Structure 1
């Protein structure tokens, strides 16, 4: 018969199994792009299924091998990274659609590298913690603390970017506002999950969050429940958000002149027709490549003939 830890592992398999399948559907729907974060939702689901399966195997067979213990520890330690990377992918997509009104995409590159570095540190730290050597355990604890603080720093950066996007919602493409809502709603749950990671990393033997003997109810609430809620939020946003269209530059001939037009969503598309009519003069010459849309060219041509 399973104990409380085995019951939690069974619940994790029951949840993340379907979550992986739905997440995989969303990934294929939106495409395998580095700007799309649903791939990381699938990665998290795989990690949780593998870790929970290892725990269940030990609970059922009552054989606690070093390999299974290490597998469970590593899968538990790296669960934070996929959620942060998923949110980062959503914010990158949102700001790409905002064009010059959004955060520079160059900012996301170092954040992505730091996230991967924190992930590697967490994996090495989780492995060293399960070592029988006292020095390795000490190193693993130090690495776990460093990884936890890196995750906290990444969360702060993503929170700032999210708040910036919220204050500039009018520039967010209308069909991508579901992603922004998902990021805003997920933030408090991610904060609780990061708090658990930090508490677990800095906890000492005998403590409530000590990795080798963590309170199962604390783990169920601060780890599993928070991850499950965030995964549901991100998957729902993926189902409701249409597939991102790529912008293409198309050459055309208008009144004998060669022009270039952009197909696909742009930041200007979020403005209403009334706002556009009020902001532009009666005749406006194209100023940049974004002005060469068919509707703008036709209206300019008609205005010039009057």
Structure 2
């Protein structure tokens, strides 16, 4: 008989809500660009991760002895935050196009943030694999440590996203019209993204419900730690639903809605016309890899502010 616990039904809900996100995100990638810098491709990756995680979670509950399924959905659970944060970094890169992108410190910061997200993702995956395949307490502790480091890096990356967003808000007058709307979307998403990141950190540092005795036999490990409610597999499903699933989905929904309603390509046309109107004859086409249509070859010149 097909039986599921509360987390199983949550997994089904994630499959249902992320299929439309996947279908919607693919046209956004074609509309706004495939590049990592654009950020939209990570919404597609995010949706795929959540769908795979939901499917393997449901299958795992029907086949409890299949450790491979457990490992897969645990990896999907812990790694799903990375594309969401890296997407935020990509959107910030889009926001500063044609206005603040010649700031060398900002450019280096955005690149470093992208690398940081990738490293955190790798650590989360390695931690999930080592934890799932652990046969000794040492292996289990090693996997847990990888997860903790990865979660800590997610926290650092979130802080960097907040600081970069604040910098953009302080220079909002220099940002092109529709990119300001994207910046507003990022700002709206930050509180919910904070809740999601906080849950990931608390979950990584929550006590493991299993361990190994001196003979290497698996055992259940009781705990009185208040952090146990944040365990992503055995903790409170209500906390998991609110702090992980709902908070994350709100962020994805904000980004998707902004992407659908914001014609970013119009900024490129206005910027090109405005630049020429101010006598800037050094406007050159950007390559597809650079994520736009126009850029100035003279980085020393001031940016013209087009009229809207």
Of stretches 204-213 and 138-147 in structure 1, the one that deviates more from structure 2 is 204-213
Which residue does the alignment assign to 1:72?
73
CA distance in structure 2 between the aligned counterparts of 1:233 and 1:53, rounded to whole angstroms: 24
Give the conservation status (yes or no) of the 8 Å contact 2:272–2:294.
no
CA distance in structure 2 between the aligned counterparts of 1:51 and 1:42, rounded to whole angstroms: 14
CA distance in structure 1 between the aligned counterparts of 2:128 and 2:55, rounded to whole angstroms: 18
- Note if 1:185 corresponds to 2:223: no
The structural deviation recorded for 1:268 is: 2.2
The structural deviation recorded for 1:132 is: 2.9
Give the conservation status (yes or no) of the 8 Å contact 1:178–1:240.
no
- Equivalences for residues 197-276 of structure 1 within 5 A: 197-205=200-208, 206=223, 207-244=228-265, 245=268, 260-261=282-283, 267-271=303-307
CA distance in structure 2 between the aligned counterparts of 1:36 and 1:261, rounded to whole angstroms: 21
Give the conservation status (yes or no) of the 8 Å contact 2:18–2:51.
yes
Give the conservation status (yes or no) of the 8 Å contact 1:121–1:144.
yes
Tell me which structure has the larger Cα radius of gyration.
1
| Number of residue pairs matched by the alignment | 263
Once the two structures are superposed, residues 238-271 of structure 1 have per-residue CA deviations (whole angstroms, 9 ceiling, x without a partner) of 112224448889xx9xxxxxx6455767752445
Which residue does the alignment assign to 2:163?
160
Of stretches 128-137 and 188-197 in structure 1, the one that deviates more from structure 2 is 128-137
The structural deviation recorded for 1:101 is: 7.3
The structural deviation recorded for 1:168 is: 1.2
The gaps in structure 2 that reach 5 residues or longer are 209-222, 286-292, 296-302
Once the two structures are superposed, residues 138-187 of structure 1 have per-residue CA deviations (whole angstroms, 9 ceiling, x without a partner) of 00111111111111111111101101111111111001111101110011
Of stretches 73-82 and 209-218 in structure 1, the one that deviates more from structure 2 is 209-218
Give the conservation status (yes or no) of the 8 Å contact 1:172–1:270.
no
Q: TM-score, normalised by structure 2?
A: 0.79
Of stretches 236-245 and 170-179 in structure 1, the one that deviates more from structure 2 is 236-245
- Note if 1:92 corresponds to 2:93: yes
CA distance in structure 2 between the aligned counterparts of 1:43 and 1:261, rounded to whole angstroms: 34
Higher share in helix: 1
- Note if 1:137 corresponds to 2:173: no
- Equivalences for residues 112-127 of structure 1 within 5 A: 112-127=114-129
Give the conservation status (yes or no) of the 8 Å contact 1:95–1:104.
no
Once the two structures are superposed, residues 166-215 of structure 1 have per-residue CA deviations (whole angstroms, 9 ceiling, x without a partner) of 11111110011111011100111111001001100111144112244121
CA distance in structure 1 between the aligned counterparts of 2:46 and 2:27, rounded to whole angstroms: 15
Which residue does the alignment assign to 2:59?
57
The gaps in structure 1 that reach 5 residues or longer are 253-258, 273-306
Q: TM-score, normalised by structure 1?
A: 0.80
**In angstroms, what is the RMSD of aligned CA positions?**
2.3
CA distance in structure 2 between the aligned counterparts of 1:46 and 1:220, rounded to whole angstroms: 19
